[in-house]
Each structure stands twice: as structure tokens, then as C-alpha cells.
Structure 1
Amino acid sequence: MKLVVAIFLMLTSYCAWASDASAVDIAIEKSNQGEWTVTYKMQKPAARLSFIRNPDDSRTKRWQPESPGFEIVYVDNHEYIVRTDSTDFTEVSVRLTPTYQHLPKDYAPFSPYSDGGVLIYTGRLFACIDTCSNNVNRWKFSMSVPENEHIVMKGQVQTGKARWIDTNEGMNIYVGSQQPIETPNVIAVIDPGLPETIRRSLDADIPELMTYFESKLGKLQGTKPMLFASYANTAGHSSQGGTLPNQIFMHWNVNNLDKQVEDDSFLNDTIWFFAHEVAHLYQWNNKAGFNGEQHESWLHEGHAEWSAASALQELFPEKGNYVTTKIANASSQCSKGLLETSLVEAASEGRFDLYYSCGLLIHQAIDAQLEKSGKRDSYSLWADFRKRAGKGNEEASDVFLSLTETCTSKTFVKKIERILEGKLASPEESLNL
């Protein structure tokens, strides 16, 4: 009887894996010469290998097939690996370019550290046989690195080779010689080349912000989160920040950071930047976020922006004028943007910035309405939203607005819906919620 039960459990486990697995194994290797390659092995022959994240066509320029007779093509806004003779294949290797690449509305595959280390984002490597469907979200990964380097993944240091199952949005993994530092709040891998001013801010402001958001949205569950901060110190003018479950990461791709930190406005923007990303970490409390469709980005981006404003007002009262100016600029940007498009259409028209500016104003107005009761605020509303989001077939925005209406009024929510759905002739009036 026990044997029958064991076999049944094995079969049900296999079926659960098979229902959402990609059927593509992914092996990453860094050679002793510093070259990065990724090898895809498919469980059945196919005419093409499809990538799940396609913000642009940069793979066609930056990835070089090592296997003869292969090429990377960009068709209908998707990138694929195919054979030049159009025949089927089961395995292919490509050489990667391990430098920072800005991607529209996505995370860079590599974020180099100034000492030779690098942060690699696994989600950029996800691929599927022929095409990727929505129910595929599990990939078998392996990684090997040179003897003088190690892998930092999920707070653990591994040497030689690592194997894991990757899911959902993927994660960031550090490869290099730097040892992580554990603090009371995070396990951190901070670039030693960052200016001292930023390093001090990372050491002091991040913990203070985490304590603030913990008091508003609850203690983070599970293992201690990781903080990655990298600095390419190379010609460029880009920075990137983001969060994934249990991870905060930020990257500067410039060669004049020492000069920029002398500007108070840059330092204020940096603290706002930190606050926004820490807010994202607490929004979903170490779980895979349910951010909804792209046109619903005003929800999480706007909430993170308003949370940053609230945190700076409370923790850094001397920055009150900066926060006031920041909100005023968001109002101006949103007002001008809504004359040209609606928030529903903003992503498709290249105006993703409106989800930050207009989203901030929407959550600010909601907070003002909730505080009239003296019992609730935008954080308690978000906590309720977090419990319900992703549990049914409702769109994230419908769930959020339904909860907002329960706590405020139908008239108030109708005003928000007009901002979301309409190209406004008088946006300033409509934003005066």
C-alpha cells in the first residue's frame, strides 16, 4: 500500500511539473577568460526557440550563436533562435555580451560591478520551445563559474557550479569575488567603487526605509532580502532600479558619479529612488507580485511613488520642499500627458512615465479621502488589495477600485475612472480629486 501511494505521489508531482515547465533546460557558463555563454537544451526537436521577454531586438545585436548554422531573428516584436536552413534542432549555444544594456520597461541582463563582478538577471534568459504560453513559468537552470569566483544566490555563497529551478519573473544572481555582507535588514553586495556618499546612504537610509515600510505593510516574510548595488563606472547616462521577490537592486551606468553626488538634487533623487524600490519590496511582501496588465501599472508604480513621498516627508522632514516640488512636477507632467492620451492607452503610446506621475496623484487623492475617516490610509487599503489580488479572474484595477469604493464613495471612484479611461480636455480640474 505504501508503495502504491509513493508511486501515486511521484506521478502527481511529475504531472504538476509537466503542466507548467518550459521543456527547455538552461546552462550558463563563465569561462576562465571571462566569456559568458548560455546553452539551451530542448526536450523535443523544434524549428525555433522563443524568448519570453521581448522589449526590443537587442539580442540580435548582442548575442552571437556559437553553434554553426544558427541565427537570432526578430519577427513581429519577438526574438527567436532558428537554424539558417530552417531545420529542427534540440540544442544551441550563444555567447553573451556582459555589459549593461538599457531595456525599455525591463531589467538589464547584466549589471557590472566596478571590480569585475556582475549581476546577471535570469529572467532575460527564459525561453520556450516554439512559443511561450502564459502557463509556462518554470525553468531548470545550471551555472558554472571560474575557480577564483563564486555565485551569490538567495543569500548563499556557492563555488564552482549551482543548479536551481527558476520561476515567475526570475531573479538576480551575483558572480564575482566579493563576499556578501549581512546586516540586520538585508544581505548586501555593494559595489566598492560607489562614492562614499551613496554607500553611506545605502548603509543608513535603506534600513530606515525598511523599518518605515515594515510599520505600514508588515514584516517581510521568509528569508532576509538581498540588496545589490552596482556601478559600471563607464561612459553612459543610465541608472536602473528594481525589485523582485526578496531582492532590491540598483545600478549606475555612468562615469561621473563622483561629480553627481556633489549636487543636492541628485542626492534627493537618489533617496527617493531608494524609497520607491523599497516600497515595491513591501508591496508584495516577498511574494511574486500581481501587478496586472501593463495598462494597470498606475497601481503599483503610483503607489510606490506616493509611498516614497510619504516616507521622505516623515523620515526626512528637511526634504519637505523637495517632496512638494516633486509632487508639483508630477501634477504638471500628468496634466500635460492626459491632454494627449489616457492612462489605459499610455503604455501602447510610449508614455509609461504617466503611470508614475498620474499614479502618484491618484494614490495621494485616495490617501486624502481615506484619512478623513481617521481609521484607514493608503497602506491599509493596499494590504487589503494584496490579500485579494490574483485570487480570481478580476483585473487588478477592478479589485483595487472596488475596495477603494467600499472605503470612500462611488462618486470618488468615478473620478478616478475618468482619469484612467479618458483623454482629458481639462486634466487639472479632473485631477483635483
Structure 2
Amino acid sequence: MRPVPVLAALMLLTAGCAAAEPAPAPAAQGVITGPVRASVLRDGDRWTVDYQFNDSAPVWVFQRSALLRVGRQPWRPQWWSVETPGVVLERQGRYDVLRTTDGGPVPREVRIVMHPRAGDLEADYDPALIFTDGTVALYSGQFDVMPMPSLEAVRALPLDLNGVDLPNSDPAEVRWKDAARPVLFKGERVDAPVAAKADTYVLFGEASIRQNPGVTTVIDPGLPHWLGEELGRFTPQVMSVYERRLGESRGGLPTLMVSWTGPTEHVSSMGGSVLPGLISMNFEGEGVLDPDAAALSRARWFIGHESAHFWLGSNGLKYQFAREAWITEGGADLMAVRAIQSIDPTYDARAELQREVDDCVRLAAGKPIATAGERGDNRAYYACGAVWSMAYEAARKARRGGDFIDVVADFQRAYGEDGMLTREEWLSGLTRIARDPSLRLGIEQMLDQGVADPTATLGRLFDRTGVAYQLVGGKIVLS
């Protein structure tokens, strides 16, 4: 998944292992072997997570510490409170940490009280999805921690930990328990599942589950009825387009989990992401209360983007580093446009792609795209990634026909074995298909140095690949 108004990145339930057995008992004096253990418990309105650490360390770092999109502030210090005496939770550098007030080792057992609430994060899965009937879904990855020798070492950590050698950074083994009823874990009601690297949302509450053709849905009862019906109907349609052209997705039949923040005035917001087997979405605002044409078109596009990640993104070909999110996010944007066009011939694809061009020009002016995440400008990955994908698509069409979904099929054949699509592979593919080594130079300059005039750079890229446009008043207008 995200108020951009739409970003994307969720999916359900296939990684990790689960069992209805309680977590193993700790060894004597709280010392454990194996991974860190975390026991999440909902008891009425009280939420706790009890940690059992496997090492004596002065600092424990939460590996997923993205900021809230609105305000760019850390969420844990506001939403979690530590009950264990002498232990504090605070922000250090780019990460949330647990440390002691006296500088000594953090106790092996720590209890935290959680106050789950809705909140959209930058380029990460929201910690919680809040439903209007009291149902709550928690993201499993938020509980992963690792030990560090000092606060100075924490402050030196980069934003992107991909490729960084970090000892003892294995995912926590989490036990999930609701005192009132079994939780929904990987599509099934289970009393107390235990899993490491579950990579999913675990649902606490009585939310009803509906089996629609091609998709299982968990829909907030407060969601406008028309929107729930459209999501359940259109999701299998767009998934069918991708499956027909790219083969079966990893993760099997998808689950669609949709929460509703409410009819906030002057807001029309959609957000979401994808995990193995699960598409998660959140909607907010009076702008989606009624099924007008604009809201319907946006909802369909949103489904198209999130569904595309089953093939290009978290469940298909992944990027190597976070700064390369433009590969999957921009690619999913263009995949969504092409899929919807094949379903609805009246769909205004040009308007959607024009928005991508306009946003890329605005966000790329004088700023390197590769570091957009550091600035909180994650929309740049979507917009510029889509624009560069349009150029790739046009080059392929001129030589071999097809559209960007065919480009993704090419990627699958070339790089599907290791499941990763790197920046170098993407740019080299563009060079081969276009037979023009100069094309990558403009993209690399936008990525690494930034350009003063993105319009001129994109114009040259479009001229050389065959993307149809006109320059009107100094602005690129797609034909």
C-alpha cells in the first residue's frame, strides 16, 4: 500500500508456520534459546505483548519502524506503553527502541500495553486495521526486534536494512491469543496460533467472512454497501486478467480484508497493501459514500494495483532494495491501467497516466528519486516508476507488440527463478528491447542526482521510445 490518495502495498496468509499449541515454556530464570518470543493477548479492551528476549543487550530495536504518513512521526511511542519498571520505549535515529533508564541490559522479560488505532505508515504495512464493529487486525511483522550494543549503533543504522548484515535479527516467534474467541489466522479460526515470519494480519473479533467467487472477503460492516459489493465482484475479475496472462499467482485464492475509518468530511481516501494471500484495504471519507463514476473508477484502479502485486511485488518479483520500490509500485500502477482497460473499454486510461506524468514531474524536480523514501515522498516511486514503465512498454510495443503486462511476463521468464528484479536488470532490459543505451542515462540521472527540468528529461525518453505526447505550454500532455 494510502492517502496519495492511493498507494499501495497487502496480502494474507501463506508464509510461516502455525499451530494451535501454546508457546514453549521459558527456560529457568527467563533465559530462552531460539528466537525472541512475543505473546500478544487481547483481554477485553486491554492489549498486551509480553516479550521474552534471547540475549542480554542494552538496546532492542524494532526492525519495522516506519513513520506515520501524516505528520511523519513515530507511532509506537504514542500507542504503546512499557509496564516493566526501568524500561523505556523511544525513538533513536530511524528506529524505535527499548532501553533501560540506567543503561544496563534490558530485562529478559518485558511487558508492553498496546493501544491499537488506525494509522497509515510510509512504505510499510499499517500496524492495525480497525473495524467499526470492534474487530481489529494486527500486522505480524511489527513485533520483530533485534539486539544492538549501543544507542550509537542504532543511530548509525540505515533506513533500508536489506543487504545489511545484522546478527540475531531473526523474526520473533509470536503467539496470538484473544481471551474471548479464536483469532482468524491464515484464513482459519485458531485458538492460539504460534508463528515466526507469518507475514500476515491476525484478526481479533467477530468479523463475518464471505466466500465470493474467486475471493474470500472480510468486509467492515460500516463500509458503504456499494463499495463492498464492488470490491468483492471486481477483485476476481482483475485477478483473472493477470492469471490468464501471467500464470497462477503465488498464495492461491486471495482474501480481501477491508476496513472503514468513517465518512470524514472533505476526504476521499483509499489505502492498502499486499501480503501472501491477502489484499488489505482501508477506506475513509464522504467522497466514497455514494457510487459516483469517479469513486467507482478509483476503487477499481486501487483493486487493480493491489492485485498486481501478486505478480510484481510482495508475492511475485520483488525489488532488491527499498530505494528500488519504483520497479514494483510504478509497474503495478501501469499493470492496473492495462488490466482495467481490458475489462472496461470505457475506462479513461489516459487520464490516469497523465496524473502519473504530472506527479513525476512535480516530485522529481531537483530531487533524486532513489532517496524519495528518506524525504517521505514515496508517491515519487509510484509516479516516476509508472512513467518509466510507460517508456519500457512503448519500446517493447514498437519491437514485439504487447503492453506492460507482457513486459512483466518477460521479467518472469528472465528473472523468475530467484524471484527478484533488480534495478540493473530492469534498466538492462530496457536497453535491449529499445536498442538504445542512452535511455537508461536519463532515468539514472533522475534516480541518483535529480534533474532541474524533469519535463525535458521525460520528453527525450518519450521521443526515443515512442510514447505519444504533445508539449503544451511547457507541459507534457499525453495524446
TM-score interval (norm. to shorter): 0.7 to 0.9
Query: Could you tell me the percent identity over the aligned residues?
Result: 24
Change (3 A) 1:73 1:270: same
Provide the residue aligned with 1:48 in structure 2: 59
Residues 29-63 of structure 1: CA distance to partner in whole angstroms, max 9, x if unpaired?
000x2211111101222222210012232211110
Task: Give secondary structure in 2 for the equivalent of 1:251.
Answer: strand
Q: TM-score, normalised by structure 1?
A: 0.85
Q: Which whole-Å CA distance do the structure 1 matches of 2:166 and 2:338 have between them? A: 36
Report how far residue 386 of structure 1 moved: 4.2
1:75 maps to which of 88, 92, 113: 92
Is there any run of 5+ residues in structure 2 with no aligned partner, and where? 1-32, 68-73, 149-153, 155-160, 463-479
CA displacement, residues 181-211 of structure 1 (integer Å, 9 cap, x when unaligned) = 2334222211222111101211211111101
Q: Work out whether 1:110 is the aligned partner of 2:156.
A: no
Equivalent residue number for residue 9 of structure 1: none
1:231 to 245, 260, 274: 260
Identify the residue that residue 187 of structure 2 maps to in structure 1.
155
Shift of 1:244: 1.3
Amino acid of the residue matched to residue 26 of structure 1? A
Q: Which residue is 1:405 aligned to?
A: 431
CA contact (8 A) 1:247 1:281 kept: no
Corresponding residue for 2:354? 328
Match of residue 60, structure 1, among 77, 97, 106: 77
The residue number in structure 2 matching 1:192 is: 221
Q: Using a 3 Å threshold, how does the CA distance of structure 1 residues 369 and 388 change in structure 2: closer, same or farther?
A: closer
1:218 matches 2:230: no
Question: Counterpart of 1:73 in 2: which secondary structure?
Answer: strand
- Is the alpha carbon distance of 1:232 and 1:329 closer, same or farther for their aligned partners in structure 2, counting shifts above 3 Å? closer
2:3 alignment partner in structure 1? none
1:127 is matched with which residue? 145
Pair 96,271 (structure 1): closer, same or farther in 2 beyond 3 Å = same
The residue type paired with residue 28 of structure 1 is V
Residue 15 of structure 1 corresponds to none
Contact 1:110 1:119 in 2 (8 A): yes
Alignment partner, residue 465 of structure 2: none
Equivalent residue for 1:316? 344
Aligned residue number for residue 16 of structure 1? none
Q: Deviations over 1:98-121 (max 9, x none)?
A: 211222222211111111111111
* 1:9-33 alpha-carbon deviations (Å, 9 max, x no partner): xxxxxxxxxxxx98311111000x2
Give me the whole-angstrom Cα distance separating, in 1, the residues matched to 2:182 and 2:284.
23
Cα 1:194–1:314 change in 2 (3 A) is same
Judged with a 3 Å threshold, the aligned counterparts in structure 2 of structure 1 residues 395 and 313 are, in CA distance, closer, same or farther, namely closer
- Highest RCO, 1 vs 2 (Cα 8 Å, sep ≥ 6): 2
The residue aligned with 2:35 is 23
Residue 174 (structure 2) aligns with: 141
**Secondary structure at 2:85 match in 1:** coil
The alpha-carbon deviation at position 82 of structure 1 amounts to 1.7
- Provide, for residues 145-197 of structure 1, a one-character-per-residue CA deviation record: whole Å limited to 9, x for no partner: 123x3322222221x31112225xx2112221124223342222112221111
Structure 1 residues 264, 207: CA separation in 2 closer, same or farther (over 3 Å shift)?
A: same
Measured in 2, the distance between the counterparts of 1:195 and 1:121 equals 24
> What displacement does 1:93 show?
0.9
Partner Cα distance (2:56, 2:270) in 1 = 40
Measured in 2, the distance between the counterparts of 1:403 and 1:258 equals 40
1:209-258, Cα deviation, whole Å (9 max, x unpaired): 1011112221123432221111133758554210112211001244x366
Name the structure 2 match of 1:37: 48
Matched-pair contact (CA < 8 Å) for 1:279–1:307: yes
Aligned length: 403
